[in-house]
Structure 1
Amino acid sequence: MAVSARRGLPLTSEEIYAAALRLIDTAGVDALSMRKLAADLDVNPMSLYHHVESKTGLLRGVCRLVDSRLQLPPDDGSPWQDQLRALAHAYRSIAQSHPSLWLHVNSHPGVIDQKGELWTVYNRILVAAGVPFDELAHTRKALVAFVIGLISSETIGFLQALGEEEGETDADATFEVAVDLIIASLEARHSRT
């Protein structure tokens, strides 16, 4: 671990990712640089490279940090519909808590670790919903694209602009309708008898 003469304490990966997330939340992903991060941490910029190889690696670590904080539904025997609803809300919470990171990640999919716990839980729920193994990847991708589109529209204000014309601006209600539609479509297509 690199030790900064100014700090006197070893720098940790967790500290780097947390500081990067703070900077992203404040100024956006495009404003993040290794120099700004190093200044925030009071270290030499080269010290960061002992922990992360590049800005892309830094963003992957930030995404892992955010994923580790998600309240994912446990495999507790509750109905898959309830678990899917909880997962959808957990996923949406990323966009609400970290909109700049969320928009960046969804326009740069190479940053996403699709082997993380979020995706493991998602696959488990789809299997519980009756999605056959040979349709799992396609179903997962279709639902992710639908939810990303909805949340992106919400994040950039598109849904609010649409709702204003109709006198309805409640994004939460729109999100619940979307989750209900996903659940109903899975029930209709893959119901187990």
Structure 2
Amino acid sequence: MPAQARKSGRPRVAVLSRDLILETALNLLDKNGEHGAGIRDIARALDVRPSALYNHVSGQDDIIAGIRELVSDRIDVSGFDTLEWDDAVRQWARSYRLAFAAHPPTIGMLAVAQLKPKSRTSKMYDAVCAGLVKSGWPEAQVLNVIVALECFILGAALDHVAPDDMLNPGDDEDSTAFVGAYQARAEAHTDVRPTDAVFELGLEAMLAGLTTTYQSLKGDS
């Protein structure tokens, strides 16, 4: 009996690659949290042996660094080439918040993860640093500015995925000021989510303070 001809077409399992491993890890992280996106979990999702992953990643730390790159790729730094520094920061901060809010489990995990040198994440930071220095920020202050903004942005990303009524005081008769403030905000922001209004308020407040600091530093130079 002649050998059966091999069927043509695409293979049933996608060809393993670093990008596929990282995207799978990010999807598992979104679905199951940090403890459901380990090497064995990724291998199971891809229907391969765990050892096969090590042809493309060095281990769990490398996967975390890769996930950070995927999120960083969604952060817009283009404004630092063309806009005034404060408008560039607005653009960067807004995209930064949404990039992390799209993947809530990454917020706490990546906020404390060691940066991998020579990564796409480093290039993101390099673009921000270069833009701020070019705009006249003292080089010694640039990282302080970035980290201060990041503290606010990451908190805002968490707030973005929280329920809109998380702070609803109900009809608490012992907290009339709180109840009044909650109701007044709801009436004032009928066309926008509270989290978006809060973010824009906080961002503008930070930029106002940073602008004052910037002008003071420029005056001392």
TM-score by length of structure 1 reads 0.81
Q: CA deviation at 1:177?
A: 0.9
Matched-pair contact (CA < 8 Å) for 1:123–1:136: yes
Task: Please give the per-residue CA displacement for 1:47-95, whole angstroms capped at 9, x wherever unaligned.
Answer: 0112222212111111112222333334442222211100001110122
1:58 is matched with: 63
2:209 is matched with: 185
| More displaced 10-residue stretch of structure 1: 119-128 or 158-167 | 158-167
Matched-pair contact (CA < 8 Å) for 2:76–2:96: no
Moved over 6 A (4+): none
Q: CA deviation at 1:129?
A: 4.8
Q: Does 1:82 align with 2:106?
A: no
CA distance in 1, matches of 2:103, 2:33: 9
CA distance in 2, matches of 1:83, 1:109: 25
- Say if 1:159 and 1:190 are closer, same or farther in 2 by CA, change over 3 A: farther
Structure 1 segment 64-143 matched on structure 2, within 5 A: 64-106=69-111, 108-110=112-114, 116-143=122-149
CA distance in 2, matches of 1:129, 1:190: 10
Matched-pair contact (CA < 8 Å) for 1:35–1:45: yes
- Say if 1:72 and 1:136 are closer, same or farther in 2 by CA, change over 3 A: closer
Unpaired segments of 5 or more residues in structure 1?
1-5
- Say if 1:142 and 1:96 are closer, same or farther in 2 by CA, change over 3 A: closer
TM-score by length of structure 2 reads 0.72
CA distance in 2, matches of 1:135, 1:163: 39
1:3 is matched with: none
Task: Please give the per-residue CA displacement for 1:123-145, whole angstroms capped at 9, x wherever unaligned.
Answer: 13432553211222333333322
2:153 to 147, 150, 156: 147
1:25 is matched with: 30
CA distance in 2, matches of 1:27, 1:101: 12
2:17 to 12, 15, 29: 12
Q: CA deviation at 1:117?
A: 2.6
Q: CA deviation at 1:170?
A: 0.4
Unpaired segments of 5 or more residues in structure 2?
1-10, 170-177, 186-192
Say how many residue pairs are matched. 186
CA distance in 2, matches of 1:10, 1:150: 38
Matched-pair contact (CA < 8 Å) for 1:38–1:45: yes
Matched-pair contact (CA < 8 Å) for 1:129–1:190: no
Matched-pair contact (CA < 8 Å) for 2:80–2:132: no
- Say if 1:92 and 1:62 are closer, same or farther in 2 by CA, change over 3 A: same
Q: Which has the larger radius of gyration?
A: 2
CA distance in 2, matches of 1:7, 1:48: 18
1:171 is matched with: 195
